[in-house]
Structure 1
Amino acid sequence: MKKDTWLNQLQFLYEQDEHLWLTETIKLLKENRLAELDIQHLIEELEALSKRDKNGSSGIVMQIINLK
């Protein structure tokens, strides 16, 4: 399958079934098929994960402070 066709399918999959998109992305990463990745959405997901982790950590710290 052509790279562009596969990428278009991955991008469509992201809009339709994010969990399946993630499963396919993980598979591509494990197989070192980096040229086939949907980089745009992967970056968005990593940025969102980073923000969630940061906000989650801040929330936990505030809960601990409020316990004192």
Structure 2
Amino acid sequence: MEYETVRLVLRLPEFAMKERHAVCEILHPGSDDAMPIHSERREGSLELEVSVRNGWQTSVIS
């Protein structure tokens, strides 16, 4: 089954964009296991490719 994919762009302060590795995961409705999300750092932001199921999702970034 295919789900809609949306791009989520987070604007981050400079200190958060240092060479630190961010772990990005998604939790879909009815699922107990988080799945990794493709992320890419750009100037002052973190871009995520997120699949949406049943119109929503929960993203976890740490």
TM-score class, shorter-chain normalisation, is under 0.3
TM-score (norm 2): 0.21
Structure 1 or 2: larger strand share?
Answer: 2
Higher relative contact order (CA 8 A, sep 6+): 2
The structure number with the bigger radius of gyration is 1
TM-score (norm: length of structure 1): 0.21
Between structures 1 and 2, the one with greater helix share: 1
